[in-house]
Amino acid sequence: MSDSTNVVGHSVSRIDTVASMSRIITIGAPIFTLVARLHWVAMIGWAVATVGILLSPKDWLRVVGLTAGITELVVGIPLAFVTAQQLGRFSLFALVPIACLILIVLFVWPKLWGRLTGATD
């Protein structure tokens, strides 16, 4: 279970990172320039949490995963809102905050965290 959940976090952060960089290159919108670095930070956080949970689950990895998830929410929700307004339809940038919200629930809920990491209390 830990493989799929954290890989989802890393993958969706990477999707928004690459998409933001593409939008910077093609249209040069300032909103994408603002959020690109934060997407990279969240993506690195998800990668650290994923590898850490797979190798040796520790409590501090929970904090790293929560920080990465909250960073994606703070960055992703306004980005999804702005792009949805610009396009006049549902923005695919909204998928990342939705996925990260699910992952945050997994990290916050004690029993789910125990199942993810195999910890027994």
Q: What are 92-110's pLDDT values in tens digits?
A: 888 888 888 988 888 888 8
Residue 7 has pLDDT above 60, yes or no: no
Q: How many domains does the chain have?
A: 1
Residue 113 has pLDDT above 50, yes or no: yes
**pLDDT score at 12:** 57
Q: How confident is the model at residue 67 (pLDDT cuts 50, 70, 90)?
A: very high
**pLDDT score at 1:** 44
Mean pLDDT of the chain: 77
Question: What residues make up the domain containing 24?
Answer: 2-117
Residue 2 has pLDDT above 60, yes or no: no
Exposure string for 6-45, b = 16+ CB within 10 A, e = fewer: bebbbebbbbbbebbeebbeeeeeeebeebbebbbbbbeb
Q: What are 26-45's pLDDT values in tens digits?
A: 666 666 677 778 888 888 88
Residue 70 has pLDDT above 80, yes or no: yes
